[in-house]
Structure 1
Amino acid sequence: MAILPDAKLYIDGVLRTAEDGRTFEVIGPWTGEPVGRAADASAADVDAAIAAARRAFDTTDWSTNVALRVALVTKLRALFEENRDRLSDLARHEAGAAIGAVGRAHVDMALEGWDDYLRLFPQIAWEKDFGARTGYGFETQRRAFYEPIGVVGAITPWNVPLYVNVGKVVAALLAGCTVILKPAPNTPGMGAIFGELAAAAGFPAGVLNVVFGSDPALAGEMLVTDPRVDLISFTGSTGVGKRIMEQGGASLKRIFLELGGKSAKIVLDDAPNFAMDVAQSMLVFHAGQGCAVHSRLLVPRSRYEEAKAVLKHAYGSFGDNWGDFDNPQHIMGPVVSKKQMERVLSYVQLGQEEGATLLAGGKARPDKGHGYFVEPTCFVDVTNDMRIAQEEIFGPVLVVIPYEDDEDAIRIANESAYGLSGGVASGDFDRAINVARRIRAGSVSVNGGMCIAGDLPFGGYKASGMGREWGLEGIEEFLETKLVAWRA
């Protein structure tokens, strides 16, 4: 039985079905059963969306009418507020969010980030005066103008879809770009609602378009390879990010990538709340399905046995306080799909084969329901060269690694292809900051500080991507710099 309304495409100002009427089922992570249907876009549908976005950018005043953009983006924000309950339903039924997670990363944090964009937007500098310079016997005045880059293809994942959709779409629209949003096949409804509410808000035709389909690659590859698209903003796996870089190179389009992570949290030996810092490292929020989660816990070898005892107790105390669809206290539900469940369980098997010790969890939990439930899982006796320590699992699996001293901890943290986030806990602030400064990552939390918020730039080093989302920098990603000089 369908729980969610049908997800429709939004192309050139029209909410509609796919060209040939095809649809696909949206499978709910809690039940493994269909929760809705979505239009299955064809190549012709995607082409129509690209053409509409190109025409809207080239032939309307969207790119220059700042007042219109702010008014419509503000109106759209109000419509999203009116549909908050529906957003919650989409997060729960499509992405598998537990109720306790909806009020955090899934809905509240996304809408707060939208407010941050609107609050920060007046600080965008559209011009910069470089003053006069004398050369070749005359004086030249120089000024830079910052202009929207053009048509944006926003390709978004299934883990926290509203948050990522807002991060890309709202920033690009405020900057003056036109947008084609391509959400993941698992979560089309959280993209479709952008089209539905944009139509209700009165957006000009072609400014925002939404396309999705059962094929996870078709629409995305068309956006990446089409020269009419000027910029690709992608959040997802590093493997797909590399493919986007390769395919986008032919048209030399700008690429923004927010990719995977294997972030390390370092608890130093002088942490005044050592037991709490260790216990709170359990990877349970939204079943560990976050690119910036701290999935490697680094603890001093001198306190390693203590840390293992703390974690054993913490996981035992957490017990079965997860996986209940109706419990508002639960922050962990299923993983998003059967494919993802099989991936996580394969890493659990791999970790045991590599010689790590399974401290907690490690099994599927069909007793929780017919969906895709994996127990909160923790490995100890892990070395940093193991695959479970180097590869992104994207599930509720924490690995715990001992270190000798600060230098060793920093080495282990940085001995990774990734560099998205990190954490440090210490009773000595200067010591903690020194360690944080040396971690090669885009954001680092010290003593629990919130380093991810809508008014802060977010992105990674190395294989975790390039560019920054959110904050002023997130809007500026969608601007080009034009320098104009004239003889005085």
Structure 2
Amino acid sequence: MNQTMTSAPPTLPSRLPAHHVIGGASVAAASGATLDTVNPGTGQVIGTLPAGDASDIDRAVAAARRRFESGQWRDMKPAQRKKLMLTLADKLEAAAEEFAVLETIDSGKPISDTRNVDVPLALGTLRFYAEAIDKIHGEVGPTGPDKFSYAVHDPLGVIGAIVPWNFPLLMAMWKIAPAIAMGNSMVVKPSELSSLTALRFAELALEAGIPDGVLNVVTGTGQDAGAALALHRDVDMITFTGSGPVGRQLMRYSADSNLKRVSLELGGKSPHIVFADYPDLDRAAAAAAWGIFYNQGQVCTAGSRLLVQRSIHAEFVDKVLTVARTIRPGDPLDPATQLGAVISEKQLEGVLTRIARAQQEGAALRLGGSRARAETGGFYLDPTVFDTVSNASSLAQEEVFGPVLAVVPFDTPEEALALANDTEYGLASGLWTGSIDIAHAFARRLRAGLVWVNGWDACDITMPFGGFKQSGFGRDRSLHALFKYADMKSVTISTPTLSSLGVLPA
């Protein structure tokens, strides 16, 4: 971003988005039903959203289909589509503070993170895909003189996106920007727990001149609006980030409807491996702490399994605990806060239940484990560290999605690799080592879509993001994401040769 993000206390928006955006209009749910918008930092209701259902999804899909079939966006010259998306990016940059505050009061994220991470990354994503639009080329086939063959990327049509609550604006942008860049129309169903920035962004798109119907946003629950979107026979693809059970259900919905494409990112239980030969254990310990406690642990790539070589185990865990004790939950709207609120009371209770289960299974609680700031009414949890955790335990195998770290000791590189891969997930992984041989060997053999060496969460929009195994399939980010939202069409034109026309001798 060109502007400098402020550290001043935020000003609350004068209004909160409160309607679907369908076909260029702000509309209530067809049923008139609403859902409460709750601020996780206070536990207080701050507004309402439409409780969308199948009738609202029908309206949105119809609007998206009309716009797609009209060709106004799909067939627009790439340079013009790029210009409109860059105009939208400029408007998002101008409204950066508004979006940061909306994201904080809606999701419990610290304002310092929404100002300096979420909104800038979303803006960078939008600009990246806008700039890519007029740089996508087809192919010319090596056919003989009697044919001319070429292949082009055709947009799929109507894309349904179901967006998670942990990074509402950024995850929406990972899907919206490449999908509309390729000429598709969209219906976005944000999480009912954090819908404000998706709605406001759809309003901003209209202000920027994006044709109505290109981007539609319908709020509501997964069982109502989400299921209707995934089952809709006029939706060509569902792109989803969220839990494994929901991902499986979306695949069933695809089979039960029109065999629409499905792209799934389903979380992980990522191994964060520290070898004794890494020379700067303080740096690695800080990365290990923030690798799990950032965003209240509500990160699909969180380094929730810390694998530490036994010869440095005690020393390294002490260093992690030293960092963790400096990370205290605070008011998300306070610019000094580093750890905000968990998304909801239900999520907080679920994490506390998993903590209690880990204690029952014999894991050694070294820090935290309790609700914090209960007097505020918000949903806060102290950073929590369990040591000497069995890799077979529920804490090491199941995604907690909270600020809870499981430390697993190991002896040899072979054991570390086996432990790291001993999970049904395969999203992210990382290792700290002074050995280039170990770095290369682990990069090749770790069964994960992301491998970070001597750094955590170290890649950016230019690199593909997605997982192996039950972490899903399909890739967000990078140029690869563009082609997820398009089909390859091969065209062959038969042409007479010059000799058949009598121009040249046969």
TM-score per shorter chain, which class?
over 0.9
Aligned residues: 480
Match of 2:133 in 1: 121
Q: Which amino acid aligns with 1:309?
A: D
- The equivalent of 1:110 in structure 2 is 122
User: In the TM superposition, what whole-angstrom CA distance separates every residue of 1:104-137 from its partner, at most 9, and x where no partner exists?
Assistant: 4421211122222223333322x2012115xxxx
Name the structure 2 match of 1:19.
Answer: 30
- SS of the residue aligned with 2:153? strand
Preserved CA contact (<8 Å) 2:68 2:157 = yes
Residue of structure 2 equivalent to 1:36: 47
Query: Aligned partners of 1:471 and 1:319: how far apart in 2?
Result: 32
1:461 Cα deviation after fit: 0.7
* Counterparts of 1:189 and 1:450, CA distance in 2: 26
Which residue does 1:158 correspond to in 2? 165
CA contact 1:7–1:188 (8 Å) conserved in 2: no
Aligned to 2:338: 331
- Which of 254, 258, 279 is the equivalent residue of 2:265? 258
Which residue in the other structure is 1:310 paired with? Answer: 319
Structure 1, gaps ≥5 residues long: none
Shift of the alpha carbon at 1:310? Answer: 2.1
**Which residue is equivalent to 1:224?**
230
Alignment CA distance shift 1:68-1:7 (3 Å): farther
Alignment match of 1:75 (pick from 73, 87, 91): 87
Which of 246, 249, 259 does residue 243 from structure 1 map onto? 249
Q: 2-side partners of 1:140 and 1:403: how far apart?
A: 62
Greater CA drift, 204-213 or 1-10: 1-10
After the TM superposition, which residues 373-452 of structure 1 pair with which residues of structure 2 at under 5 Å, given as runs? 373-448=380-455, 450-452=457-459
- Hey, what does 1:300 align to over in structure 2? 309
Specify which of 186, 197, 202 is matched with residue 204 of structure 2: 197
The secondary structure found in structure 1 opposite 2:339 is coil
Find the aligned partners of 1:269 and 1:19 in 2 and give their Cα distance.
61
Pairing of 1:107-186 with structure 2 (within 5 A): 107-125=119-137, 127-133=138-144, 139-186=146-193
Distance 2:296 2:44 in 1: 19
Give the direction of change, closer, same or farther, for the CA distance of 1:95–1:449 in structure 2 (3 Å limit). closer
Give the secondary-structure state (helix, strand or coil) at the position aligned to 1:303: helix
- Cα 1:2–1:121 change in 2 (3 A) is closer
Worse-matched range after superposition: 260-269 or 192-201: 192-201
Report the aligned-residue RMSD: 1.9
SS of residue in 1 equivalent to 2:253: helix
The answer to whether the 8 Å contact 2:270/2:426 transfers is yes
Q: Secondary structure at the match of 2:229?
A: helix
Higher mean alpha-carbon deviation, 167-176 vs 108-117, is at 108-117
Using the TM superposition, give the Cα deviation of residue 268 of structure 1 relative to its aligned residue in structure 2, in angstroms: 1.2
CA distance in structure 1 between the aligned counterparts of 2:88 and 2:316, rounded to whole angstroms: 48
What secondary structure sits across from 2:450 in the alignment?
coil
Query: How far apart, CA to CA, are the structure 2 residues paired with 1:68 and 1:315?
Result: 49
* Cα 1:104–1:258 shift into 2, 3 Å: farther
CA contact (8 A) 1:120 1:455 kept: no
In structure 2, list runs of 5 or more residues that go unmatched.
1-11, 496-506
**1:455 is the counterpart of 2:455:** no
Cα distance in 1 for residues equivalent to 2:14 and 2:110: 17
SS at match of 2:379: coil
Moved more, 36-45 or 289-298: 36-45
Cα distance in 2 between the residues matched to 1:258 and 1:4: 33
Which of the numbers 450, 468, 473 marks the counterpart of 2:475?
Answer: 468
Q: Return closer, same or farther for 1:73/1:319 CA change in 2, 3 Å cut-off.
A: closer
Q: Which amino acid is the alignment partner of residue 446 of structure 1? A: V
Structure 2 residue 298 is matched with structure 1 residue 289: yes
Q: Describe the shift of the 1:275–1:264 C-alpha distance in structure 2 as closer, same or farther (beyond 3 A).
A: same
Check conservation: 1:30, 1:93, Cα contact below 8 A: yes
What are the residue-to-residue correspondences of 1:31-70 with 2, within 5 Å? 31-65=42-76, 66-70=78-82
Contact 1:113–1:453 at 8 Å: present in 2 too? no
Q: Using the alignment, how far apart are the partners of 1:402 and 1:93 within structure 2?
A: 39
Deviations 1:188-225 (A, max 9, x none): 21111122112212322311111012x33211111111
What is the identity, as a one-letter code, of the residue corresponding to 2:29? Answer: A
Assess if the C-alpha contact under 8 Å between 1:2 and 1:36 holds in 2.
no
Question: Which residue does the alignment assign to 2:491?
Answer: 484
Deviations 1:418-461 (A, max 9, x none): 11111111112332122122111111111116543122211111
Question: Quick one: which amino acid aligns to residue 185 of structure 2?
Answer: T
- On the 8 A contact 1:31/1:370 being kept in 2, the answer is yes
Shift of the alpha carbon at 1:319? 5.4
Question: Aligned match of 2:104 in 83, 87, 92?
Answer: 92
Which aligned segments of 4 or more residues in structure 1 are displaced greater than 6 angstroms? none
Mapped partners of 2:455, 2:226: distance in 1:
36
8 Å Cα contact 1:117/1:470 also seen in 2: no
Deviation, 1:326, is 4.1
Structure 1 range deviating more: 455-464 or 366-375: 366-375
Normalising by structure 1, what TM-score? 0.94
CA distance in 2, matches of 1:367, 1:236: 28
Quick one: distance in 1 between partners of 2:60 and 2:414?
Answer: 52
SS in structure 2 of the partner of residue 297 of structure 1: strand
Determine the C-alpha separation between the residues in 2 that align with 1:485 and 1:204.
Answer: 33
Distance 1:302-1:104 versus aligned 2 partners, 3 A rule = same
Deviation, 1:301, is 1.5
- Distance in 2, matches of 1:384 and 1:16, equals 50
Q: CA deviation at 1:4?
A: 4.8
CA contact (8 A) 1:77 1:114 kept: yes
Q: 1:354 offset after TM fit, Å?
A: 0.8
Residues 102/280 of structure 1: CA separation in 2 closer, same or farther (3 Å cut):
same
